[in-house]
């Protein structure tokens, strides 16, 4: 298992290194950055000379590395609004372009949300949009600065670069601040210093097509050159390289006009190796351009696949039906916000693939090129969209930004075989940013975007989610169906989906599921359904996401337990196996993520619909999906984060096992309680459930599951409490562990008879006095200083700094408790 995982990582590293070479020389600018989270009076404040301790050094800057997110921690701070405003970054670069008459570029993979770039005091570029890539040519500004006296005297032959980012609220930008995610600030993706010769490739387009039978493929190569010196003559060579590294096609062309988009060559390939979700085979296109000023080579991955959304039918890949088994992703992670490193991204995508994902909707904006490269290499189909999300429709600048971002995402991600859908918007039926909400104007602009997408890329489909009055405009439509969460009960799912399916030509259901507070479990998770009316699961309305008011719904009236969400997802997945007309779905979302519009959730400012927590720890629901979607044999006993169950003595309790194996045998306290056969239609847990009488006190449960000749095992230990508790009376601290300067503390809630209150969901607030600090503002149940308890307990971690620390915990109506971390 470990060996396979390591091999997968090495495989992905090799593919990423080979994919999308930017230029002859590219340097990631990671270290030696100063950062200021406020605005300045002028650019001169950023670059002026100052002696240490002098007032000219103010305001004080701090050192950071890139990528860096302005809102890495305050996005989930329970006590403040997250910062939305200007921030500055500065560094000094040693510019040594190896090309005579070459160009020196800064390539931004993403910065939010408005950006200005300065060389010394010269503004060289501005960009509006937080998610698309962009490039700044600083060649002329660098040459001009090298002629100044301060180049040597003040900056020691280095080039001062200053970058201002700004995520201030701006109603005339997309996405809307009504969106259910943070509009982060900062240089939160990689920034690259790029050296090129005088002529280079700005964009390489490789249109790969193949028939349904996979017998005849074509590759059409075009390119747009970057040629600011307006040279006229060049020789272009193109190699098509197969997955084994062999050149199988070659073309050469002399050019005497290097302007505009250039049609370079067409290749025909017989019986190509196809790209699929099981075997994502990649070819390479290597384009070399040579002029009198030098040679430049650009390499891109491509793949041959044929896909089709059948009208009133399922999805087809390479001539065969494929059920899209999907999820969603936001660029967001505990402790760093949007500033995820390549290693973090790779780990997350490998985790998705391990769960069995073959499709992802990237919500709700263009994402890092690293993610798209991983989708290509792992075999994960993609719906990628622009951030026209909620609020209505703005003016000319607003529309221009949306069209520009659509043009950029298609142009920048055109060659990825994983992409099948360009998303044009999300929840565009949601008003609120403007006095006017005109559906006809929204329809007209949606039509403009749809036409633009097809003009730029006729090989892929367009789509939107949740805007019924525009559903006839795009190729593929997803309504809003939250069966068993925002509306209705989860057993509505199949009938409601079929009703919505019949209303459009091509149906794809994205966004379903519900929130769960990791570590919270229930002996009776479906009780909330008793007061909820069925048959309304497609009737989501404004306010349904609120925890206050409105009709009865699980999102407001349920317990937010992992137990309930596992049942909901189990039901959806078993039903999907009986829907032959279904294209597929995408559960929302893979990982818990931050949001400014949910301050009252059990972890404040967190959308907790993930199947893993914000720091990537799997919840129980992860294994529900794995039991349906993964081919690798697995077995998981429900309750790994449920240390104490409760009930009456001699009461039979259900033990569930999620497994994709053919059969499983359960052992309780060393004794077999029988073998069960897996049947996906036997709800819950596909029939792998046992009614067991547990011992009072400690219990040990083990499962052995078999798939053909392979046997997999899982085991858990937990307490069984039969004592009944009264109302909460006191908080009790305990130290769980201490290692590497980190202390893990747990607080439990007891009644006045010292019986743990196992269903308690009280809010608790942690504090610290001492040399160390709480590890909080992580957006996780064990990384938040203000959090709802899960089954009468809560965990917090302390970074001790090698000193003395006393931690407190408060809860309304209860005495404050303390613990000395040094004892």
pLDDT computed for residue 16 by the predictor:
41
pLDDT computed for residue 24 by the predictor:
66
Asked whether the beta carbons of 542 and 415 are under 8 A apart, the reply is: no
The helix/strand/coil state of 429 is coil
**pLDDT confidence tier of residue 530, bands split at 50, 70 and 90:** confident
> Which of 204-208, 210-214, 399-403, 523-527 has the lowest average pLDDT?
523-527
Please identify which residue in the block is written with the tokens 């991955």. 301
Rounded Cα distance between 789 and 517, Å, is 9
> Is the bond preceding 276 in cis, omega lying within 30 degrees of 0?
no
pLDDT computed for residue 788 by the predictor:
98
> Which of 53-57, 66-70, 405-409, 773-777 has the lowest average pLDDT?
53-57
CA distances from 262 to 93, 220, 225, 270, 727 (A): 34, 11, 8, 25, 75
Active site residues: 427
> Which of 57-66, 167-176, 545-554, 674-683 has the lowest average pLDDT?
545-554
Mean pLDDT of the 619-627 span: 98
- The rounded mean pLDDT for the chain is 95
Percent of residues, the chain, with pLDDT higher than 90: 93
pLDDT computed for residue 551 by the predictor:
80
> Which of 205-214, 531-540, 724-733 has the lowest average pLDDT?
531-540
DSSP string, 7-18: HHHHHHHHHHHH
pTM of the predicted model, to two decimals? 0.95
| DSSP bridge partners of 117 | 125, 163
Mean pLDDT of the 2-28 span: 51
**pLDDT confidence tier of residue 529, bands split at 50, 70 and 90:** confident
> Which of 177-186, 527-536, 740-749 has the lowest average pLDDT?
527-536
**pLDDT confidence tier of residue 13, bands split at 50, 70 and 90:** very low
pLDDT tens for residues 559-578? 999 999 999 999 999 999 99
Q: How many CA atoms lie within 13 A of 647 on its CB side?
A: 17
pLDDT tens for residues 744-788? 999 999 999 999 999 999 999 999 999 999 999 999 999 999 999
The helix/strand/coil state of 686 is helix
Assess whether pLDDT exceeds 60 at residue 14. Answer: no
Residue 49, burial from CB neighbour count under 10 angstroms (0-12, 13-18, 19+): exposed
pLDDT tens for residues 49-65? 999 999 999 999 999 99
How many C-beta atoms lie closer than 10 Å to residue 719's C-beta? Answer: 17
Rounded Cα distance between 780 and 604, Å, is 9
CA distances from 677 to 518, 624, 681, 689 (A): 29, 17, 12, 10
Assess whether pLDDT exceeds 50 at residue 688. Answer: yes
pLDDT computed for residue 537 by the predictor:
63
Assess whether pLDDT exceeds 50 at residue 511. Answer: yes
Rounded Cα distance between 43 and 470, Å, is 45
Mean pLDDT of the 90-102 span: 96
pLDDT tens for residues 19-50? 344 446 999 999 999 999 999 999 999 999 99
Q: Are strands 593-594 and 606-607 parallel, antiparallel or unpaired?
A: antiparallel
């Amino acid at each position: 298992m470990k060996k396979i995982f390591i091999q997968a990582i090495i495989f992905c590293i090799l593919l990423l290194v080979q994919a999308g070479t930017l230029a002859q020389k590219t340097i990631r600018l990671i270290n030696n950055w100063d950062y200021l989270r406020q605005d300045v009076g002028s650019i001169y404040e950023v670059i002026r000379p100052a002696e240490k301790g002098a007032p000219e050094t103010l305001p004080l800057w701090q050192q950071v590395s890139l990528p860096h997110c302005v809102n890495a921690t305050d996005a989930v701070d329970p006590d403040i609004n997250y910062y939305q405003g200007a921030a500055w970054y500065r560094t000094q670069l040693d510019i040594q372009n190896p090309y005579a008459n070459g160009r020196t570029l800064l390539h931004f993979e993403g910065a939010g949300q408005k950006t200005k770039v300065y060389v010394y005091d010269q503004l060289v570029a501005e960009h509006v949009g937080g998610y698309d890539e962009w490039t700044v040519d600083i060649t002329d500004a660098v040459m001009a600065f090298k002629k100044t006296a301060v180049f040597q005297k003040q900056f020691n032959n280095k080039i001062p670069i200053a970058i201002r980012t700004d995520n201030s609220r701006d109603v005339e930008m997309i996405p809307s601040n009504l969106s259910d995610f943070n509009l982060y600030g900062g240089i939160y993706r990689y920034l690259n210093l790029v050296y090129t010769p005088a002529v280079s490739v700005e964009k390489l387009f490789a249109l790969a097509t193949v028939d349904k039978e996979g017998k005849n493929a074509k590759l059409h190569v075009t390119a747009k050159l970057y040629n600011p010196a307006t040279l006229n003559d060049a020789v272009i060579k193109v190699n098509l390289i197969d997955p084994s590294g062999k050149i199988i096609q070659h073309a050469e062309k002399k050019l005497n006009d290097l302007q505009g988009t250039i049609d370079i060559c067409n290749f025909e390939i017989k019986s190509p190796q196809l790209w699929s979700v099981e075997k994502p085979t990649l070819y390479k296109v290597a384009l070399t351009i040579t002029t009198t000023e030098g040679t430049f080579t650009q390499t891109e991955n491509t793949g041959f696949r044929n896909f089709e959304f059948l009208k009133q039918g399922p999805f087809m890949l390479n001539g065969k039906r494929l059920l899209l088994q999907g999820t969603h992703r936001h660029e967001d992670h505990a402790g760093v916000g949007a500033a995820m490193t390549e290693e973090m991204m790779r780990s997350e995508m490998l985790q998705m693939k391990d769960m069995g994902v073959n499709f992802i909707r990237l919500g709700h904006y263009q994402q890092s090129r690293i993610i798209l490269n991983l989708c290509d290499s792992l075999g994960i189909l993609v719906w990628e969209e622009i951030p026209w999300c909620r609020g209505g429709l703005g003016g000319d600048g607003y529309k221009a930004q949306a069209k520009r971002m659509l043009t950029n995402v298609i142009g920048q991600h055109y060659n990825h075989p994983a992409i099948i859908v360009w998303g044009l918007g999300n929840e565009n039926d949601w008003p609120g940013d403007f006095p006017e909400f005109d559906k006809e104007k929204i329809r007209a602009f949606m039509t403009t975007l749809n036409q633009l997408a097809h003009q730029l890329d006729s090989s892929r489909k367009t789509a939107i989610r949740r805007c019924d009055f525009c559903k006839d405009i795009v190729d593929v439509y997803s309504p809003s169906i939250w069966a068993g969460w925002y509306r209705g009960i989860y057993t509505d799912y199949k009938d409601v989906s079929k009703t919505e399916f019949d209303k459009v030509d091509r149906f794809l259901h994205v966004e379903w599921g519900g929130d769960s507070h990791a570590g919270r479990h229930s002996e009776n998770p479906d009780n909330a359904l008793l007061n909820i009316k069925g048959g309304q699961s497609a009737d989501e309305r404004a306010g349904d996401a609120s925890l206050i008011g409105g009709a009865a719904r699980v999102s407001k009236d349920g317990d937010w337990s992992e137990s309930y969400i596992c049942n909901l997802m189990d039901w959806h997945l078993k039903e999907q196996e009986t829907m032959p007309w279904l294209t597929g779905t995408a559960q929302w979302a893979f990982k818990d993520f931050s949001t400014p519009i949910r301050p009252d959730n059990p972890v404040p400012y967190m959308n907790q619909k993930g199947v893993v927590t914000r720091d990537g720890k799997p919840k129980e629901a992860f294994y529900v999906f794995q039991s349906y979607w993964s081919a690798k044999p697995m077995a998981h006993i429900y309750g790994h984060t449920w240390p104490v169950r409760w009930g009456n003595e001699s009461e039979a309790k259900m033990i569930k096992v999620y497994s994709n194996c053919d059969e499983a045998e359960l052992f309780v306290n060393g004794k077999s309680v029988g073998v069960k056969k897996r049947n996906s239609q036997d709800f819950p847990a596909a029939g792998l459930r046992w009614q067991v009488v547990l011992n009072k006190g400690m219990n040990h449960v083990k499962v052995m599951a078999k798939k053909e000749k392979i046997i997999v095992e899982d085991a858990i230990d937990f307490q069984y409490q039969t004592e009944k508790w009264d109302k909460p009376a006191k908080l009790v601290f305990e130290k769980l562990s201490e290692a590497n300067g980190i202390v893990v503390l747990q607080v439990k809630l007891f009644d006045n008879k010292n019986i743990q209150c196992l269903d308690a969901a009280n809010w608790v607030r942690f504090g610290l006095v001492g040399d160390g600090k709480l590890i909080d503002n992580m957006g996780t149940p064990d990384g938040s200083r203000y959090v709802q308890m899960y089954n009468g307990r809560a965990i917090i971690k302390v970074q001790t700094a090698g000193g003395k620390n006393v931690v407190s915990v408060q809860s309304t109506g209860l005495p404050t408790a303390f613990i000395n971390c040094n004892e």
